Amino acid sequence: MNRIRRQPINPGKISIGPGRDLYIYYLKGRLKAAGGMFPDSFIGTWQEDDDSFLFFSSPASRQIQNLLCHQHQLRYVDSYEMSYDQWLGEVFCTFEHGKFRITPAWESGEGETGNDKTRILLDPGLVFGTGTHPTTRDCLEALETAARSKEFKTVLDLGTGTGLLSLAAARLGSKRVVAVDLNLLAARTAARNVQLNQLEDRVVIVQANAEDVIAYPADLLIANIHYDVMRRLIAAKGFLDKKRFILSGLLRSEAKDIADSLAHYPVKI
């Protein structure tokens, strides 16, 4: 069996919640370890290729200037101020979808509903994946369909984001879920959500490139991910070893291209 070597993911400070303001600084270049350079208001860093976005809960222009003086590979591009809800693109509150009841961490004290709903606590932090987006809802439905048709003991979730789909898979009976995201902030957010739901014995969070772990053996593969990565995943060695897969996150034209490629494989869609 392939083994995934990993360093423990530190969830760090993630909780923000509604009603909070975000101060975002956009820098060009890769951020190096900044040590104690940032104040307590520092929330985290989102790094994408050569772009770095630093998030604070209060203005931090002086700290950013200090950072630029010490790390010359960085270049200031812009700064933004917005509410947490604006960043998230919605007012995230408890909702039900299928058999799941998704509850924000800041509403956790409101109690549970009846036994007909499976509750998942979620702190999305700054990361995509509250469950309200159509692609995520469709994946939740597909997971329920998969669980009804045949048990899945092991799941590989690539591009896990907040970890919601991994948590749902564990709640549906999976004994081992490996949730993977290349972005460290996403991995930390997912680790925080695993803790909130007390599923550390079932869900493992890994910061890695999706293509590097596609060969990990699993009964079910979940990839709610963008097209460029999806295209490489279905061509990678190990993809066809999965018994079942849920693929999502594509535009219609992209989905057609992926479906056309899969038509040449020994798979049933």
Give, in order, the Cα–Cα distances in Å from 215 to each of 146, 208, 219, 223, 228: 21, 13, 12, 14, 18
Contact 13, 43 (CB under 8 A): yes
Are residues 133 and 257 both part of a single domain? Answer: yes
Residue 52 confidence (pLDDT): 94
Average pLDDT, the chain: 90
Could you tell me if residue 32 is inside a domain?
yes
Could you tell me if residue 206 is inside a domain?
yes
Residue after which a domain boundary falls, among 39, 70, 88: 88
Are residues 43 and 134 both part of a single domain? Answer: no
Q: How many Cβ atoms from other residues are within 10 Å of residue 135's Cβ? A: 13
Write phi, then psi, for 164 (nearest 5 degrees). Answer: -60, -45
* Average pLDDT score over residue span 46-51: 89
Contact 102, 95 (CB under 8 A): yes
Most confident by average pLDDT, 12-16, 107-111, 143-147: 143-147
Are residues 168 and 245 both part of a single domain? Answer: yes
Distance CA 193, CA 163 (A): 7
Could you tell me if residue 97 is inside a domain?
no
Are residues 148 and 65 both part of a single domain? Answer: no
pLDDT tens, 63-74? 999 999 999 999
Are residues 212 and 144 both part of a single domain? Answer: yes
Are residues 137 and 215 both part of a single domain? Answer: yes
Are residues 138 and 220 both part of a single domain? Answer: yes
Could you tell me if residue 102 is inside a domain?
no
Could you tell me if residue 113 is inside a domain?
no
pLDDT reading at 79 higher than 90: yes
CATH number at residue 154: 3.40.50.150
Residue 202 confidence (pLDDT): 97
Are residues 160 and 232 both part of a single domain? Answer: yes
Residue after which a domain boundary falls, among 39, 60, 88: 88
β partners of residue 22: 82
Range of the domain at 34: 21-88
CATH number at residue 58: 3.30.70
Contact 44, 12 (CB under 8 A): yes
Residue 1 confidence (pLDDT): 45
* Average pLDDT score over residue span 16-22: 82
Distance CA 128, CA 93 (A): 15
* DSSP one-letter code for 163: S
pLDDT tens, 204-219? 999 999 999 999 999 9
Give the total number of structural domains in the chain.
2
Name the percent of the chain lying above pLDDT 70: 91
Most confident by average pLDDT, 8-22, 53-67, 123-137, 164-178: 164-178
185: left (phi over 0), alpha (psi -120 to 50) or beta: alpha
pLDDT reading at 159 higher than 90: yes
Residue 185 is which amino acid? Answer: L
Could you tell me if residue 171 is inside a domain?
yes
Q: What is the pTM of this model?
A: 0.90
Are residues 144 and 47 both part of a single domain? Answer: no
Are residues 62 and 163 both part of a single domain? Answer: no
Residue 3 confidence (pLDDT): 58
Could you tell me if residue 183 is inside a domain?
yes
Residue 41 confidence (pLDDT): 85
Are residues 81 and 157 both part of a single domain? Answer: no
* Average pLDDT score over residue span 215-224: 96
